[in-house]
């Protein structure tokens, strides 16, 4: 049987695609926990709109750790994924294009609304450039993908079977990786732990907390 056809490629979700790209990489368990949280929090467009400090507080990690993990995810395919806004999504895509796109980047950063209104003469006057150059920039920007989730199925469709482990050929041997992204992050409620350790709790309360 052809095990490669467990599910059809068009049924892959964006979440699946991103998690598959992380498999086999040497990320710590905390990093995998953060990145899995971010991936599972993407909106319908493939954007990550949550506040970094809020995520750090929820996961009990430092904001810097969340920022690093978010930076890793923004380098995955499709280009523009995990951006916090349309402008960032387009800028991430322009950053990957070979060549000089500084004018296009400036248009995205400062004049994205005017592009939408087709006020190219205004942009040209502000940037002191020929209108023809702004037309060229507009065409380049419009060729980008404002919705990184495009082409991936939603959560209601069939999903790929997510492996518990991944076996990869390394030279003359094989290496087995645990797929941390396949498992949920489990934590003990700190409040319950503090109550359980309290010496003044009666026997019935301590028994209840131990059971939970």
CB 185 within 8 A of CB 32: no
Euclidean distance between CA atoms 55 and 37, whole angstroms: 9
The 10s digit of each residue's pLDDT in 127-145 is: 999 999 999 999 999 999 9
Q: What is the pTM of this model?
A: 0.67
pLDDT digits (tens, 9 = 90+) for 83-110: 999 999 999 999 999 999 999 999 999 9
pLDDT band at 212 (very low <50, low <70, confident <90, very high): low
More confident residue, 35 or 201: 35
Whether residue 4 is predicted with pLDDT greater than 60 in this model: the reply is: no
* CB-based burial, 110-123: b 16+ in 10 Å, e otherwise: ebeebbeeeebeeb
Above pLDDT 70, what percent of the chain?
77
Q: What pLDDT does 70 receive?
A: 98
């Amino acid at each position: 049987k052809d095990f490669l056809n467990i599910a059809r490629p068009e049924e892959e979700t964006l979440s699946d695609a991103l998690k598959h790209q992380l498999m086999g990489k040497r990320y710590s368990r905390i990093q995998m926990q953060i990145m899995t949280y971010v991936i599972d929090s993407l909106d319908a467009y493939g954007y990550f709109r949550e506040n970094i400090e809020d995520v750090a507080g929820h996961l009990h990690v430092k904001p810097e750790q969340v920022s690093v993990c978010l930076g890793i995810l923004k380098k995955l395919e499709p280009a523009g994924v995990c951006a916090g806004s349309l402008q960032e999504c387009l800028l991430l895509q322009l950053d990957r294009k070979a060549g000089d796109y500084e004018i296009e980047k400036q248009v995205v950063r400062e004049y994205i609304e005017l592009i939408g209104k087709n006020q190219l003469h205004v942009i040209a006057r502000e940037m002191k450039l020929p209108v023809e150059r702004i037309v060229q920039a507009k065409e380049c920007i419009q060729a980008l993908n404002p919705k990184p989730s495009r082409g991936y199925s939603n959560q209601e469709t069939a999903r790929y079977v997510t492996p518990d482990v991944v076996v990869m050929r390394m030279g003359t041997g094989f290496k087995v990786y645990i797929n941390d992204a396949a498992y949920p992050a489990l934590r003990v409620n700190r409040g319950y732990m503090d109550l359980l350790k309290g010496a003044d709790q009666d026997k019935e309360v301590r028994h209840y907390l131990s059971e939970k």
